[in-house]
Structure formats: C-alpha cells, structure tokens
Amino acid sequence: MTYDPTQTTTPTTEAPAAEAVAVNPTNRGQALRQRLQQLLAFGGLAILFIVFSIASPQVFPSYSNVTNILFSAVVVGILALGATLVIITGGIDLSVGTGMIFCGVMSATFITIWHLPVLLGVLMAILFGGLLGAVNGFNVAVNKLPPFIATLAMMLVAGGLALVVSNKAPIYFDAASGYQKISTGTLIDDNFLPGVPLPRNFPNAVIVFALAAVIAIVLLNRTVLGRYDLAIGSNEEATALSGINVKKWLVIIYAVAGLFTGLAGVMISARLGDAQPTGGQGYELQAIAAVVIGGTSLSGGKGSIVGTLIGALVIAVLTNGLQIISVPQEWRDVILGVVILLAVYADQLRARRGSVT
Amino acid sequence: MPDQGIPPTTGTHDPNLLLQAAGVSKSFPGVKALSGMRLDLRKGEVLALVGENGAGKSTLMKLLTGIYSMEEGQFWLEGQPLLVKNPKEAQERGLAIIHQEFNLMPDLTVAQNIFIGREPLSGGFFTKPKALEAQARELIDRLGLPLDPSAKVHTLTVAKQQMVEIAKALSYNARVLIMDEPTAALNDAEVETLHDLIRRFITPSTGVVYISHRMPELKRIADRVTVIRDGEYIDTLDMATVTLDQVISRMVGRAIDTSARPENVRTDRPVLMTVENLSTKDMLSDVTFDLYEGEILGFAGLMGAGRTEVARAIVGADPRTSGTIRLRGKVVNPRNAAEAAKQGIGYLSEDRKKYGLMLGQAVSSNIAISSLADQFSRFGFVNDRAIAKAAADQRTALRIKTPTVAQLAKNLSGGNQQKVVIARWLVKNSDVLIFDEPTRGIDVGAKDEIYHLLNRLAAEGKSIIMISSELPEVLRLSHRIVVMAEGRITAVLAAGDASQESIMALATHPDDATSAASAEHLKEDAR
C-alpha cells in the first residue's frame, strides 16, 4: 500500500493527456504552452498540498484523508468535465447543478418507482442528462439564445421539475441495494488482485471519476468533436464557413456535457443513498470555478481537461485542508474566491506575455 | 542592396525634415524585425512607404507611437528628439496614425467618436451635446468632409468611416499623418476623395507617410517612395522619375510581370455551375450567370454592389429569397456552408481574420478543419498524423511561410494566412472556389504568388469565382468578368473586351439614375 500523492510528481490523470500530446505532432507548440499552464496549476496544487501537510502533518496527508479529498472532488469534478467542453465553445452552462439533481431524481424514479434494473436506470438517467443538454444546445445553436440565458432558464426548469417529479420528497433506493455501491463501494479492496501493488480501499466513485476523465480527455484531444469544439470557440463564423455544421455540433457538445451532468446526478444520489430533490444550486458555479482555475478560457477556443481536473482538485484540497485546520466555512468561501481570482489573473498575465511576440 | 550610408548608431539630424528616423533597430525573440532603419519625411510631402508584409512597416509605426519600446536608434520630429511612451502621447506631439482597422464605436455618432474622451462638459461630468456637435461640425467643415456629425458611425460606408478616423486624428492638430493601407477597402472614386483630402492636408509644415500595397496609387499621390525589405532600409526614390516596376523589384528583390493577362477564354469548356435568378431580401435581384470548368470568373463592381452577397447567398451563408444553384446540371441549393462544402463549393471570405481563420489554432488545424469528418477521422477519432502530413504537403506546395504547421495561424503574415485558407479548400478538393478579395492586405510578392496559384488551379480544372475591388487584378486573372451594380449584374465581359474604363462605366451603371448618382456622390461631396 503505497498510495501517497506527496511522493508522486505527476497525477495519474495526466498520463492519458501526455499520450495524446505525444501522438499529436501537429500541435506541439500549443501543447507545450498548454503544458506550461497545467504545470503552473499543478504547481499551485502541490504547494497547497504541502502547506496543508505542514499545518496538519498527522491528518491531512494521511491515506484516508487523501481518499476523502478525491471522493469529495467527484461530483464537482464530473460536472466540470462537461462544463469544460461547453466553455471551450465560448458558452456556459448554468443548469448543471439543478440538472444533476433532476437526473438523480429521474434515476430514483426509474429504479425505485419503475423497478428498472439498476444498470438500465443509471444508463437512462445519464441519457436524461444528455437530453437536458441537447435542449440547452438547441436553444443556444438554433434559437440563438445567449448561453447564459438559455441555461439559466434550464437551471430553473430542471430545479422545478425535480421537485414536481419527486413530489418534493427524497426518493430512497431501498429496493436497489447495489445502487449505493456505485459511489461508496470499494471494488478494489484487499481481495482485489492480491499481490499486485495497488492503492486499495477507496470508494468506487473515484474510479468512475477517473474513467469519466479519461473519456473527456479522449473526446477533447482525439475526436472530431474536440476539434470542432475548439474551432467553434476560436471563431464560430469561420468554422461555419469552413463547411462545419456548427448548429448540429453545438447541440451535440451541449448534449455530451449533459451526459456528464447525468452521471454526476447518479453519483450524488448514490453517495447519499437517496435522490434529494433540492440542493443542486451552487454546484454549477463550483464546476465553472474548477474549469477556470484549470486555465480554460471563458472566451472559448482554448482549454484542457487535465487543467479542469487540477482545478477540481484545488477546490477539494482547499475545502478539505481549511476544514482540517479549523477555518470556518465563511472564510473558506473567501479564500476560494481569492484563489479563483489569482488563478485567472495568472492566466491573463501569461496570455499577455505570450501575445507580445 | 542595403544602401548608401546608414548612420552608424543614432545618426544625425537634418533640419529640413519633418520626421526623421535613423539607425532604428528592434528585435523580438528569434527575429530581427528592424535593423538600422531610416526614414526621412520632408516638410510638405507625401512619402510612400512600401515593403512586403513582414518587412517591418508596422514595427516601425509601433515604435513611433510608443507601442513598442525603442532598442536602438532615434526619431526626430521637427528637430526635436521624439520618444513617446504611448499612442496618446504621440497624438499630443502631432503624430496621427490611421490604422488599417478602424477604432470607432459603431453605435456612437460621428461627433461622439471624434471627440471621445475630450467631450465638452459642464461641471466636469454632464455632456453638452450641442456644443459637441458644433465643435465636430466646425472641424468637418474645415477639413471639407462630406460627413454628418450626428450620424451613427455604423450607418456610414467604409470610406466615410475612414473620414471619421481622419477627422479624429487631425482634430489633434497633427503635423504628421501616417496612414496604413488607407485604401484597402475603398473603391476608385473613394480613393480619389481620400487623395483630395490628403492634398488639402499638405502644407509647408505638414507631411504624410502613406503605407500601401496598391502600387498604381502611389504614382498619383506620393512625392517620394521609401522601400524597405526584411527590416532594412533599401532605397528612397523620386516618384516622378521612378517606374512602378522599379519600386516593386526593389521591394521583392526580383522583377515581377504586372502586365500579364489571362492566356485564353475558356467558354469552350462545359458549364460546371449555374446560378439562376438569385435574389436576397435587401440586396440581390435576379443574379444569373454560368461558371465554366477551369474558368476564373472575375466579379467587379463598386463597394456595396452586392458581390460578397452573391458569394454568401450561393453557399447559403445568407438566406436566399429566390434562386436556383446547379452543379453539373443538378440542383444543389445549399442551405448552409456545410452543405455547400459537401457539394464542393468553398467560400474564402474577404475578411480572413473574422470569417476565415481560427487564429488561435494551429495552421494544421486550420487546413484540416473542413476535411476532418471525411478525410482525417475514423469513427470520430482524429488521425493527427494524416493531418500533419496533409498540412506539410500544402505548406510545401503553396510555399506557406511558417516554421512548422503547428504554428498558430495568428502568427503568420496576411499572405500566408490566405494560403492557409486556400490550402483548406484544396485539401477538401472543392470544385468551385469562391475567392472574395483574395489579395486584400497582402504584399506585392505574395500577391503574385496568389495569382500564379489561381492560374494554376484554373488550369487544373477548378472553377474559380474571384471577387476583387482591384481592377488590374480582375483584368489580369479573369477569363470573363461579371460587372455588378446595385445588387444586379450589369454585364458579363470577355477578357478581351474589358478594360478598366469599360468596367468602371458598367459598375456605375449609367442606365440606372440612382446608382449613378450614388457612385458620383462621394466625388460631388468632396468638392
């Protein structure tokens, strides 16, 4: 058992991106710049980690606490993956918080009320998130509503419908004992592949998060969707005149982001063991914060999933670390706000320096 | 040949000069942008400054106005050493620069734009609209400009917007007026108006530096011409005695044939595309023409004649109210540019930065974007090796000057950016290429390359529609020429029958009173 993040120099999540860059010789210059940006964000994360480790050497860097941090990053992190794709187009999605809650309620409806098999219910909840995203995309791309407004409206609609569908009460997954294991079970326990040196006994949610991250990395770096995402964010008009059906792809990108929302809905309801019809508000802003800390530009055309992962971890480490050293909630918010400002300001500085030549 | 006695480091001052630069050098990481540059603007003259893109013209301007900091060398303005920290200070010292891209607020009025930041105020806070307008009117009248101070800027033509820029610059009592490509977006009548304005500005104590790629204009407006190349001063010549070919050969370091005409007229070829009764809501009415295989069909006309609108309507970028577009006899009527591209029609916009390139993306990404789905991906997964190879092939074939195809598009010069957009459609293997102002803002050497490229593409069987405001360009390249005025086609001329004069006559459309009036409008007003 050697899982100790203080000893690893690169997070495990960066490996797939490194591969993607290596086989992508056309984008080496860009990749380098992006790499630098990620390194700086990662450096910030490492510093936070070290500072908290010094402040609380007994508790903070312990294996169980690191597991806690990762566990607590899952929901915001998954939302932020989808948000990254949307923000790269130059858009924004404010509906992911209540959308996630709505998807959780739908998951409970499918499984507890309709008695569908857990796996099918989960799949349908995720697809339901995709549907919400597609509606957002349709409003943005075809009806030409500003993304802020389209998704603000969806935020209210999804939040309201979650209450309507659930009858304003939590729906429990009592009949589906396996559901909670999606999040809190430990697939990789002491009996999993004995003898192989693996970090063990961490919740499955972390595995789901890692898989979702890999999918997002592949989507952005290796697929047509990722290229069109970046192209639309760089210059939507030019992309359209290049013969790309921008409307169609915007709907697809928002829909894919919605799939991540759906997955986050499953993860949050699985963690709690019931689908709460409220409490989603604020998650969308945390997700956006993670994306922005990770160096993705709100004006579009530029961004990375690895950055977003680091951003989500920065938020989780800060929240956890400040809690451990007994900083009250109100001051945690202040500090998180300042961190967001610093991260974006540093990014601006880099961008400005980069554009002089 | 870098020339005659460049002053070693800072040089000396000549009192007869209005603006002088000596020994100016500037480097950027990896590039020597300027080296020992000099510039002598005499009092009362129009000095043309020419050089290929990347020759260092804009770097020199940015040094002059304090956007870049000086490294080596010295500027003098009327005998006083000139070292400004920012453009505002340059303005206050009497240096006015009209950039190629305007800095106007479209929703404000002419008067508000001219005096932005210097509005007459009462109590230091409340605006005085009447006083502002009176002040603007006084200035406009003094300059003799056909402008209405209360008009919103976005309602004005490009030419009039430029006049607003000039009025704004001259309102600071500028002695030196520097104009960067002032005629890039103007038609011939508007160019004349601008030149009149410049001539009126010139007094024994003022001077104009006129940066342009449009060679024939220089002969008409400039007294002398300074040629720079690769960041170095090459020569200053008297306009009265020098020939344009001499200027151009100094610019590019080689001779260029500017008198070439298309070899043959290709109406013997089969028709590839027909456009019938194309109309749009506000602009086009009943535009009908054929495009032959392997033909370059030039579109000439004044600004606002509807040439760009024809292109946009054909590819479905703007909605059509009527019209049929056929390719090889089959109706295609693309509803958007994606459908047009699928059918093999590529549109290359006049505004590369706005409608052409993803500036923040790699050259390779820009080249591959249109063909990602059909050539460079399998099951949605992108094949970056294939992209890199295709982009590298295009880079060689079109001689795109970039260190690697991973370079971001924004770091390329205008001509090379244009080649990137062309490469995109070549990779897509489109049959019909619609070029809208393919050489706008491109230097002479790169222009020549683009011309050769268009000829080669036509010879290879591509059908090309070329929209251009430069008549010599239209005449040089087109096998046939469509002339437009007021949203209609007024004539289709065979290359042999067309001349600058005949095209201009048809473009101003004497049969139609309103269009003739509007074409003469600017000239009238200016007098």
Distant-in-sequence contacts of A11-19, Cβ < 8 A, 24+ apart: A11/A42, A11/A309, A11/A310, A11/A313, A12/A210, A13/A210, A13/A213, A13/A214, A13/A306, A13/A309, A14/A38, A14/A42, A14/A306, A16/A214, A16/A217, A16/A218, A17/A217, A17/A221, A17/A304, A17/A305, A17/A306
Q: Give the residue, B30 or A348, on which the prediction is more confident.
A: A348
Residue A194 has pLDDT above 90, yes or no: no
Q: By a Cβ cutoff of 8 Å, what residues of chain B touch chain A?
A: 28-29, 315, 317, 336-338, 340-342, 346-347, 349, 354-362, 364-365, 368-370, 372-373, 377, 380-382, 384-385, 387-388, 391, 404-408, 424, 428
* B-chain residues near A222 (CB < 8 A): 381-382
**Coil/strand/helix, residue A56:** coil
**How many Å lie between the alpha carbon of A96 and the closest alpha carbon of chain B?**
26
CB of A224 within 8 Å of a chain B CB? The answer is yes
Tell me what pLDDT residue B471 has. Answer: 80
- Identify which has the larger pLDDT, B58 or B44: B44
| Residue B388: predicted pLDDT | 95
Chain A residues within an 8 Å CB radius of B317: 240-241
Chain A residues whose beta carbon lies within 8 Å of the beta carbon of residue B28: 357
Average pLDDT, integer, range B25-50: 85
Q: Is A25 on the interface with B (CB under 8 A)?
A: yes
Nearest CA in chain A to B430: A243
Q: Which residues of A54-65 are buried (b: 16+ CB within 10 A; e: fewer)?
A: eebeeebbebeb
| pLDDT-based confidence at residue A340 (cuts at 50, 70, 90) | confident
The predicted-structure confidence for B358-403, as pLDDT tens digits, reads as follows: 999 999 999 999 999 999 999 999 999 999 999 999 999 988 888 8
Which chain A residue shows the shortest CA-CA distance from B388?
Answer: A26
B180-196 residue pLDDT tens = 888 877 777 888 888 98
Q: Which residue of B has its CA nearest to A245?
A: B338
pLDDT for the residue A33: 62
Residue A19 confidence (pLDDT)? 30
Tell me how far apart the alpha carbons of residues A135 and A158 are, in angstroms, rounded to a whole number. Answer: 11
Q: What is the mean pLDDT of residues B494-500?
A: 81
Spatial distance between the Cα atoms of B16 and A122, rounded to a whole number of angstroms: 84
Q: What is the mean pLDDT of residues A112-139?
A: 96
Residue with the two structure tokens 């056909």: B146
Closest of B326, B315, B402 to residue B364, by C-alpha:
B402
Gap from B62 CA to chain A (nearest CA, Å)? 12
When scoring B31, B67, B332, B336 by the number of chain A Cβ atoms within 10 A, the one with the most, hence best to mutate, is B336
Round the average pLDDT of chain A to a whole number and report it. 88
Q: Tell me the average pLDDT of chain B.
A: 85
Mark yes or no for CB contact B384/A235 under 8 Å: no
Residue B372 identity (one-letter amino acid): L
Chain B residue nearest residue A228, CA to CA: B369
**A162-171, B342-351, B438-447: least confident range:** B438-447
Closest Cβ opposite residue B337 in set A225, A227, A240: A240
Which of A:180-219 have CB within 8 Å of B? none
pLDDT for the residue numbered A316: 96
Query: How would CATH label the architecture of B17-94+174-252?
Result: 3-Layer(aba) Sandwich (3.40)
Average pLDDT estimate for B125-147: 90
Domain A65-351 has CATH 1.10.3470: yes
Examine the pLDDT at A297 and tell me if it is beyond 70: yes
Percent of chain B with pLDDT strictly greater than 70: 89
Residues B291, B430: Cα–Cα separation, whole Å:
14
Nearest CA in chain B to A219: B381
Per domain, the residue ranges of chain A are 65-351
Which of B317, B360, B404 lies nearest to residue A241, judging by beta carbons? B317
Question: A30–B369: do the CB atoms touch at under 8 Å?
Answer: no
pLDDT band at B246 (very low <50, low <70, confident <90, very high): confident
Cβ-nearest to B384 among A25, A234, A238: A25
Q: Which of B59, B318, B357, B382 to substitute to test the interface with A, most A CBs within 10 Å? A: B382
Residues of A in contact with B315 (CB under 8 A): 241
Determine the Cα–Cα distance for residues B527 and B524; give it in Å rounded to an integer. Answer: 6
| Average pLDDT score over residue span B70-82 | 87
The answer to whether the Cβ–Cβ distance between B337 and A225 falls below 8 Å is no
pLDDT at B496 over 90: no
pLDDT band at A37 (very low <50, low <70, confident <90, very high): low
pLDDT at position B29: 61
Q: Where do the domains of chain B lie?
A: 17-94+174-252, 269-344+430-527, 353-429
Of A25, A234, A357, nearest to B361 by CB-CB distance is A234
Nearest to A234 among B341, B358, B373 (CB): B358
Rounded average pLDDT over A280-291: 94
Portion 268-327 of A in contact with B at CB < 8 A:
301-302
pLDDT value, residue B309: 93
**Rounded mean pLDDT, A38-67:** 91
Question: Across residues A174-189, what is the average pLDDT?
Answer: 88
DSSP labels, A162-180: HHHHHTTS-EE-TT-TTTT
pLDDT digits 0-9 by tens, A146-173:
999 999 999 999 999 999 999 999 999 9
The predicted structure's pLDDT at residue B507: 78
How far does B19 lie from chain A, in Å, by closest CA? 27
Write down the pLDDT at residue A14: 33
Q: What is the pLDDT of residue B264?
A: 55
Q: Report pLDDT for B439.
A: 86
Judge: A244–B428 Cβ closer than 8 Å, yes or no.
Answer: no
Confidence of residue A255 (pLDDT cuts 50, 70, 90): very high
Contact A223 B382 (CB under 8 A): yes
Taking the Cβ of residue A352 and every Cβ of chain B, the question of whether any pair is shorter than 8 Å is answered with no
Average pLDDT over residues B290-294: 93
DSSP assignment letter at A223: B
Nearest CB among B347, B382, B384 relative to A241 is that of B347
pLDDT bracket for residue A11 (50, 70, 90): very low
Query: Per the CATH hierarchy, to which homologous superfamily does domain B269-344+430-527 belong?
Result: P-loop containing nucleotide triphosphate hydrolases (3.40.50.300)
B360 contacts on A by Cβ (under 8 Å): 234, 301-302
What is the CA angle B220-B222-B228, rounded to 5?
Answer: 125
Name which of A130, A140, A155 is nearest A255 in CA terms.
Answer: A130
Count Cβ atoms below 10 Å from residue A355 Cβ, excluding itself: 8
**Location of structure tokens 């010292």:** B93
Q: What is the pLDDT of residue B66?
A: 85
- Taking 70 as the threshold, does the pLDDT of residue A28 lie above it? no
CB–CB contact B337 A24 (8 Å): no
Worst-scoring range by mean pLDDT, A32-41, B169-178, B433-442?
A32-41
Per-residue confidence band for A342, with pLDDT thresholds at 50, 70 and 90: confident
What is residue B53's predicted lDDT score, i.e. its pLDDT? Answer: 61
Same fold yes or no, B17-94+174-252 and B269-344+430-527: yes
pLDDT of residue A61: 94
pLDDT of residue B308: 92
Residue of B nearest to A32 (CA): B406
pLDDT over threshold 70, residue A8: no
The dihedral through the CA atoms of A101, A102, A103, A105 has a sign that is positive
Nearest-CA distance from A142 to chain B in Å? Answer: 13
Residue B266, pLDDT score: 57
Q: What is the mean predicted confidence (pLDDT) over B352-357?
A: 90
Is 50 exceeded by the pLDDT of residue A20?
Answer: no
Distance CA A301, CA A226 (A): 10
Highest mean pLDDT: which range of A247-251, A293-297, B467-471 = A247-251
